[in-house]
Structure formats: C-alpha cells, structure tokens
Structure 1
Amino acid sequence: MPYRALVRSFRLVACVAALVQLTACASTQSNATKPPPPASVVALYGQLDQASRSYETALQQTRAGDMEGAQKTLDASLDQLRDAAAHCGATPGCDPQRFFSVFDHLLRLKDGSFIGDQTPDDEDTSTSPPLAPLTGQAGAGSLPEAQRSVTLLRGHQLSELIAMNGPVKAALEMWLTQWRGNLMEAYVNYQFLRQEMWPQYQQQGLPEALLFGIMAKESGGKVHAVSRSGAAGPLQFMYATGLRFGLTDQDGFDTRFDPADSARANAEYINEQLKSFNDNLELTLAAYNGGEGRMHRLVGEDTSVSFYDPRIYAQLSQETRDYVPEVLAAAWLFLHPDSYNLRFPRVDGQTANITLKRSASLSELTVCLGSPNDMPDGWFRTLRNLNPRLDPQQEQPLGAELQIPKSLEKVYDARCVDGPWPILASDLHNAVVPVFPEPAPAAADPVVRYTVRRGDTLATIVRRHGSCASEAQVARMNNLKFSHIKAGQVLKLPSCR
C-alpha cells in the first residue's frame, strides 16, 4: 500500500476516536459507585482494548516495513472502533471515559511514530529538506515549514509529560474558542521567527512544541511585547533574569527583544530548572512564571511531587495555576491540530535580506506592501519582528539592508520602489501634526467653601476641617460680627495647601 495512503489511514483512527467521544457523550454517567457492567458492555470494552492493541501492532509492522500486514491489522482495528462507536452510546452502562482514554492513548502513540512528522493537513513534505546540522547560523532552507518531529525531553517524549487533566482540557478549550485568534496570530508570527528561535531550542535538546507553547502564552510572537511588570521580549524575561542568562544592552538595544538571544536564554533557563526539579516540566514552567525561588520553597526536597498536588497547587497564584496548563495546551495543539479540528494557516516562513532602493521606514514599507499573500492585517508586525533593532518610524537610508519575508521580494520591487504607493506612504509618514503647548494648570482656589449645618459653631467648624487659620481670621474673611453663624450660611475657609 502507498506510504501516504497508510498515513491517512492511521490518521483516520484518531478521527474515529474523536467521533467516539461525541457519540459517547450522550451516555455520560455519574462517578458514583456502580454495579459490575453487563456482559454487553464488557464485550464493547474488549473491542476497544483490542482496537488499541491492534493500532500498536500496525505501527510496529509499519516500522518493520511490512506495509501490507500493517494495512490488514489497521483495517481490523478500524472495524472494531467503528463497531464500538456505533453501540456504546446506545448501550446502558457503557462508560464514555474508556473511549476518552483510548483517544488520548492513540494521540500519544502517534508521537512516537512517523505520523508525528506529518503536517496538520497531511501535506506531502517529501520534498522538504531535513533539519541541517546546527553548525553556525542555520538558514531558512534547512528548516522545513511545518516539521512535527517530537524531540525527546531529557529521555521522555513530550506527550508523556503532558497530563491530559481538567486544567489542561480547560486550557485546550480556551485556545480553541476565545483565544483562537491569539493562537493563529502566534502561529503566523512564529513561522517567521522560527529560523531564529528553533535552532536555539534544538541545540539544547528541547522540543519545538514547548517553545511555541511558551511563546504563544507569553507574547503571541510579538518581539517587542512588554508586560506591566516589566517582562520584555517574545519570551518575556524580567530584567534581572535576563542578565543572568546574558541578555544585556548592546549599543542601546535590549537583547531581551532579540528572538535568537531570548530563545537561547529561555532554553538554558528551562534546562537549568529541569535539572533542579528532577525533569518535572510542570514545576519548571511554574518556576518560569512564578519564580524559581518560590517554587523551590514550596517543593523542598520532594522534586517528585506533582504540580497539581494541593500542597503546591493551592499555594500558587491564580496566574501560575493557569499558566502551566495553558502553555502545555498550546504545545499539544501545535503537535496535534488535526485531532482537535484545528487548521493552522499555511505560511512560508522563509526570509530574505533586501537592499533598500529608496529610503523608507518600516511603517512606510507596510503601507506600500499592502496585504499580499492573504495577510489582511498587513506586514507591520512581521517587519518589526524581523528587524527588532529598528525604530519602525525611523526612515532607513537608501542602501540599508532589511530582512523581509522571502515571498515579498518581488512585491517590494513592484510596489515600494517606484509608482504611487511609496509616494503615498511617504506622504502619510511625513504628515505634520500640529503641536500646541499644554495649558498652564489653573491656580488652586485659595479658599474652600462650607455650608453651615444646624448645631455648628465657628469653633467646631474650624476644628473639624483642620483649618490653618484661627476663628478670628475666619470671622474676618466672612465679615462676621461676634462669630454669629446660622444654618444654611456658606462660609469661606482658608485652603491649607
């Protein structure tokens, strides 16, 4: 059987498992103690278990080169899954959680197989070159657009370290619903930053999905992002932590904003904390968000403790409780978009250097480039990300070198060198906005006014309002005779400012 067809068949297993979830939801039961399941349910569970074992067998046969045998085994597995899916929802006592578990199991098996290297759309990437050895600066051509290889994380597959529990499932739903736009924006931004950031992680033996998950949560791939607490860059380093990992000022440029430097520092930090927390990824991410000092005090010497242990989880801020599963969920979706009915946009992330044929700022280039290649939001963010050291409003001289998406090389020549668009862009950029001096603040009123209430005396009014004047001064200010006042009368009192 052709290799691609077999891959599609394996993908169908995951799709059938997803359908099983939907079918089984109608029969969800309480977690209360139940009597032993009837024989009909036991038989369904047997089919489900056998389907899972057959899937593993088919993978082994594929790795061994037995495509024909793998196809027969897979066909039997699919038949069992279809039969179980058709009957579980209508069978009293059938527990849908069994089907959820099998679906999760198949996803994790997928990470250990060749299927994990396919693109979300099952696109043929046979013409994509493999990752080149990382000697010197890796070029865009050495980085396949959508490689899905799952790097070992200190001896473990990433999928083995992501517990598919309630918080992670809730985070998956958020990324797929309310944050879906943020996820897509982060993915597009990352494709153009990938050639700078991914080699840093690869050198440290860390999975690309983890890098994407952290970046998606921290900045959405906005290189110049700065938080209210002062964290900066695509991976949001605090100033002191950045210094510890070599992120400094270079000729007035904060290297926390440099994609390659920040990815290198982040990878070094993650590996440092993994070593400190006995390869516990969740504790490591919690340390990145909430501070390693706090996490070490909470964990103590028991580095085998779970992040979700109440002794740890209950002591963390809500931000950190949310942060860890949200990073893991984004990483999981990066690996398995097709399993969650998610399709990332197709992006050619290769970049190229151009020499300006007329002076222009990044803002002007954004105007004249327009929205080619289905970029309705334009190219401002991408141009900023690719040229992080440049002020986007500062005009760059003729002959300056800029980095742009490779797909825009011809667009630049056609739209930004001659013709009406660069003229329009320059006219908008150089528009003069009237500037007027701020009006002088009005002088403070030297007095305050008080309406006399029943029972007030001049002495009590002066004491109550902490007046800086005496009763006699207040009396003179208000032309009072014998300090006589009456309810409803408005008095002037000195302002003590």
Structure 2
Amino acid sequence: MPVFFASTAPPARRRVLLVAATLLLAVPAAQAQRVSARDKAKVDVIEQRMAAAEKRYTDALVLVANADPKGSAEGDAALEDMEDVIDACIGQKGCQVGTLLSTYKRLLKRQADASGEGVADEAGDTLEADPDHVGPLVADVPEAARAAALLNDHRHAFDDMVEYNPAIQAGIRRWLTDMRPALLTSYENYMNLRAVMWPEWEKRGLPEALLFGIMAKESNGRVHASSRVGAAGLMQFMPATGRRFGLGPDGTGFDTRFDPRSAAEASAAYMNERMGQLNRNIELALAAYNGGEGRALRVFNQSAGQGFWTDSVYSQFPGETKDYVPMVIAAAWIFLHPQQYGVEFPKVNAQPATIRLAKSTTIYELTICLGSAGTRDGYMRALRNLNPRYEADGWIPAGTTLNATTRIAGLYNRHCVNGPRADLARALITADLNAAIKRPGAAYNGSVAVGDVQAMQAAAAAAPPRPVQRPATRTHKVVKGDTLGRISTRFQCQLPTLARANGLRAPAYAIRPGQVLKLEGCRR
C-alpha cells in the first residue's frame, strides 16, 4: 500500500512557497537582523507547529500501514499544516525557513516520485535507492509501534554502511530475474521466522536487511538446509564454527544449528565479532562469513584497512566469495527498497501462536488438512521451520505443543481436529503403497478416494476390522527407497523412540537397504 498523500494545496502556492523560501535562504548571514524576545517567542510557536505537523504526518503513515481509511485524509491535512507553517515563517522575522523547508521539500519529492513512477524506466535512467523504506513492515501488525519508529527514521543506516555499485546492481538484476522466485520464497520464510530471529540481531545493533540477505543467499529460509561440505541450518554454520558459538548436538539427537533462534543469535554474535576485527566493514565481514575469517583478517591487515572492492583486496578472495558478497547486499537492498524495483513481497500473517495437538499427527498430515488458504504453497515449510525438531513424516504425539501462527492455529481447529478434511488427510497419510499390489490368492483390500469422501468413510466403517498381523520379532528390513520417516509412518511409530532404539542420529537418520530395524514405539 503506497504511503504518498496528494495534498490538496494548489501547485501554484507550493511553487510560491519554495521560490520565496529559496530567496530567503540566499540572504547572507551577515545581513540577518537581531531578533527581539517577542519575535523569538513567535518563532518558537512556529517551530512547535511544524513539529506537530510532522508528528501528524508520521501518525498518518502508521494508519495507512494498518489499512485505516483515515490515514490518507490525515496525511493530506498534515501537508497543508506544513504549508501554512512555512507561509507564516516566511513573514516572521528571525524564523529559519531552511530548517522547516527541508522536511517539506522531502515530502514533496516523495509525492513527485510516486506520481512519476515508471518515467525513469522509459527515459532509460538508472534506478537509485528509495530514500525511505516502508514495504516489508506494512503487514507486520503486531509490531506497529516499531514500524512507526522505522517509518520516521530516514537515515537508513544500512544504505550508508555498504557501497551501491555495479556489482550490487548486477546482483539485484539476478534476484529480480531468474532468482525472483527464490527471493519471494526467502521473504515468506523469513516473515514466518521473524519473531524469533530478528530480536537477536536487533539487540546487537545489526541491520535487519543484512540478516535477511544472508539467510536468502545461504538457505532461502529453509531451516533444514544442508550443504555437501557440512554447513547446516538457516545461516549455514559449519560444525566447528557452530561449536564456537554454542551450536551443535544438544544431547537429544538434535543439532541446534537447525534452530532458528539459536542460529540467529550465533550469526549475530559472529557478525559482530567480524565487524569488530574488520573496521565495521560489512563487505569484508561477509567475505569472512563465506570465505573464511582467517583469510579476511589477513587480507585486511595486509591492505592497511582498504575496502573489499579495492583490486588488491578483491583479487585475494575466491570466486564464490566474490559472488556471495554482492548477492547478499543485493537481497538486503531489495528488502529495504521493494517499491523501487517493482517487488511486491507476499503478505504474511505471521503473528506467533501455538497449537496443542488434539491427536497424534505428522507435519505432512497437517499440511494436507490445513490447506493453502492465504499462501502460495501451503503451510508445510512454515510448520517445519517453526518446529525443526520434527521430521515431516514422523508421528508427533497427541498433547504436543507446536509453534505456529494465528492463521495456522485457526485452520487447525477448523479442519484438522475432526471433520471430512481431517479424515481425508488421515486416509492419505496412512495409505500403504503395498496394499495397491494385487497378489495371486489374496483379496484386493486397497482403497482409492474418488468422489464422495463421506461415502468412502461409510463403506470403510461398515467393513469388519481386519486384525493386524505383526511380525513376531517386531523388526523391519530396510528396502530401497525407505526412510526412517516413512517407516515410522507405516508402522505408526514415534520417530524419536524408533531412532534411539536403532542408534540413529538426527537430522539425517541415515539407514541403508538390508539393515534390520527394531520397531520400538510402534503401534502396527
């Protein structure tokens, strides 16, 4: 939703105000007259009126961000107040028009940029960064107060901490073309995790855009991402580096590199450590994150503190790092300036909530019964990211509390506790592929859900239950294509119990064909 207001003041009046103010600014300071106490009091009143108008405008931005229809009218009124204040200042001895004019000119420029959107593209001009950032926080209703503070902060510290150059522009081009789906997916994943990740960076004074940029480049916001060299989690910590910052196996078989809050805390501590060594240079800190902290520190010391883009520094990093640094900054830049680049990030209802399971289930089953209302791809990724200790196909006991959002909690109570969709999800999740195979001398007992789900359920209820024949030894021989999660689903096992009984470690739970597993904690 744009936050520009079309003031109803006549354009001619604006031109008069700006021209008159500019002429006044040109008067040499030596010609300024002494200001009496009476005039000083009047100037103070004018400045207070300007401060009140600015606050009114800022409050209007918050109303617009929260889809309040009063926001636009309040914004227009605030602009008119500012015009009246500047008019009064021009006629008041001792009033510093320049102090008041800067805010007004910036607001008028914002309106001109909005009304002229697309003109720069037609003229072939190079896109530049937006002066303000409002996009990603529009949907963040639970943090409206913090959003208001950011909307009123026009300094954009991150913009001043990095160099916006052709390498960054090339990275932005890649994110906006073939990598656009990955960018949007990363944003959606981040927004679902923001409540647990961003506070860890915020309290350490690091830019949120940088957190998003690293996460987008490292994992696209997939908690369980792993690399071929052993890096793991959202922020892709190597085992040794993870241990330095408190990450790794926690004694239950879970690797905390996959925990979003822990990964955010560790990555913030790591970046601050690198920034402290490298003169607060974000590019070099990112080069250390990707290319090794030892190399980055050595290059920095040898170069007498020169920046990453200096040829003698840049040439000493591997090609992967030369690609990594601008791609992270490019993702961060789009995060801050989506409207400038025509990006509409998904609107994500990510207010945190929990659900207490009414019955045992799997994340796969929840994904089916929740549906996809309000999303592009459904809720499996959000559930997995918010609950990284659980495998997607592993049974989670009734009574377990899962992390979720308010939307997921509402859909769970509506569709997953009972009812046709809950029954259908259970039928799909427990379907046994082997039951579809017709064997000589055996009756076909498979079922295919086609048409009326209720009719299918009624037919199943009318049939007498078949006793389950369990192997006397209660073991299972692994065949090609088996995973521990699929085995736990087939035999209705508790995945942690099954893993512990067979000495398997999370998150891989590596098994091999021919291996014999003990089916402990299984109901079938």
SS at match of 1:300: helix
CA contact (8 A) 1:200 1:260 kept: yes
SS at match of 2:308: coil
Q: Displacement, 1:290?
A: 0.6
Match of 1:354 in 2: 355
CA contact (8 A) 1:219 1:233 kept: yes
Distance 1:79 1:205 in 2: 32
Match of 1:33 in 2: none
Deviations 1:51-78 (A, max 9, x none): xx9xxxxxxx779847224586468768
- Trace 1:218-297 onto structure 2 (pairs within 5 A): 218-250=218-250, 251-297=252-298
| 1:204 aligns to 2:219 (yes or no) | no
Match of 1:336 in 2: 337
Q: Displacement, 1:146?
A: 12
Q: Which amino acid aligns with 1:416?
A: C
Q: Which amino acid aligns with 2:379?
A: W
Q: Displacement, 1:396?
A: 1.4
Q: Which amino acid aligns with 1:306?
A: G
Q: Displacement, 1:421?
A: 2.2
SS at match of 1:352: strand
Distance 1:351 1:79 in 2: 36
CA contact (8 A) 1:237 1:256 kept: yes
Match of 1:67 in 2: 82
CA contact (8 A) 2:200 2:261 kept: yes
SS at match of 1:402: strand
Q: Displacement, 1:328?
A: 0.5
Distance 2:192 2:479 in 1: 43
CA contact (8 A) 1:150 1:158 kept: no
CA contact (8 A) 1:151 1:158 kept: no
> Residue 135 of structure 2: which of 107, 119, 140 is its match?
119
SS at match of 1:206: coil
CA contact (8 A) 2:303 2:312 kept: no
Cα 1:382–1:437, aligned 2, differ >3 Å: closer, same or farther?
Answer: closer
Q: Displacement, 1:426?
A: 2.2
Distance 1:218 1:182 in 2: 11
CA contact (8 A) 1:119 1:148 kept: no
CA contact (8 A) 2:286 2:325 kept: yes
Deviations 1:126-171 (A, max 9, x none): 995424xxxxxxxxxxxx699668799xxx9210122121110000
Distance 1:421 1:226 in 2: 34
Distance 1:404 1:127 in 2: 15
Distance 2:279 2:140 in 1: 37
CA contact (8 A) 2:355 2:404 kept: yes
CA contact (8 A) 1:369 1:415 kept: yes
Q: Displacement, 1:322?
A: 0.7
SS at match of 2:270: helix
Deviations 1:284-305 (A, max 9, x none): 0000001011112222254531
Distance 1:406 1:80 in 2: 39
Distance 1:391 1:124 in 2: 30
Distance 1:252 1:303 in 2: 45
Q: Displacement, 1:258?
A: 0.5
Q: Which amino acid aligns with 2:371?
A: G
Cα 1:62–1:220, aligned 2, differ >3 Å: closer, same or farther?
Answer: farther
Q: Displacement, 1:351?
A: 2.0
Q: Tell me the matched-pair count.
A: 352
Distance 1:79 1:355 in 2: 49
| 1:397 aligns to 2:413 (yes or no) | no
Distance 1:419 1:216 in 2: 38
CA contact (8 A) 1:355 1:402 kept: yes
- Trace 1:83-232 onto structure 2 (pairs within 5 A): 100=126, 104=128, 107=130, 110=131, 115-116=132-133, 118-119=134-135, 129-131=144-146, 157-232=157-232
CA contact (8 A) 1:150 1:157 kept: no
CA contact (8 A) 1:119 1:147 kept: no
Which stretch has the larger CA shift, 74-83 or 364-373? 74-83
Cα 1:430–1:267, aligned 2, differ >3 Å: closer, same or farther?
Answer: same
Match of 1:17 in 2: none
Match of 1:428 in 2: 428
SS at match of 1:377: coil
Deviations 1:455-492 (A, max 9, x none): xxxxxxxxxxxxxxxxxxxxxxxxxxxxxxxxxxxxxx
Cα 1:369–1:313, aligned 2, differ >3 Å: closer, same or farther?
Answer: same
Distance 1:219 1:146 in 2: 30
Unaligned runs of 5+ in 1: 10-46, 54-60, 91-95, 132-143, 439-497
Q: Which amino acid aligns with 1:296?
A: L
Cα 1:427–1:350, aligned 2, differ >3 Å: closer, same or farther?
Answer: same
CA contact (8 A) 1:280 1:303 kept: no
Q: Displacement, 1:348?
A: 1.2
Q: Which amino acid aligns with 2:381?
A: R
Cα 1:86–1:379, aligned 2, differ >3 Å: closer, same or farther?
Answer: closer
Distance 2:333 2:225 in 1: 24
Deviations 1:347-393 (A, max 9, x none): 111121111112111111111111111x2321111100010111222
Distance 1:436 1:86 in 2: 63
Distance 1:425 1:86 in 2: 51
Cα 1:76–1:429, aligned 2, differ >3 Å: closer, same or farther?
Answer: closer
Cα 1:361–1:307, aligned 2, differ >3 Å: closer, same or farther?
Answer: same
Q: Displacement, 1:344?
A: 0.7
Q: Which amino acid aligns with 2:351?
A: Q
Cα 1:356–1:213, aligned 2, differ >3 Å: closer, same or farther?
Answer: same
Cα 1:208–1:427, aligned 2, differ >3 Å: closer, same or farther?
Answer: same
Distance 1:342 1:281 in 2: 25
Q: Which amino acid aligns with 1:386?
A: L
Cα 1:124–1:239, aligned 2, differ >3 Å: closer, same or farther?
Answer: closer
Distance 2:144 2:381 in 1: 28
CA contact (8 A) 2:135 2:336 kept: no
Q: Identity of counterpart residues, as a percentage?
A: 41
Cα 1:380–1:359, aligned 2, differ >3 Å: closer, same or farther?
Answer: same
Superposition RMSD on alpha carbons, in Å?
3.7
Distance 1:80 1:399 in 2: 57
Deviations 1:83-124 (A, max 9, x none): 9x999x99xxxxx8xx64xx63x73xx2xxxx43x3369x59
| 1:365 aligns to 2:366 (yes or no) | yes
Match of 1:416 in 2: 416
TM-score (norm 2): 0.60
Unaligned runs of 5+ in 2: 8-18, 26-49, 55-80, 87-100, 435-476, 481-524
Match of 2:388 in 1: 388
Q: Displacement, 1:229?
A: 1.2
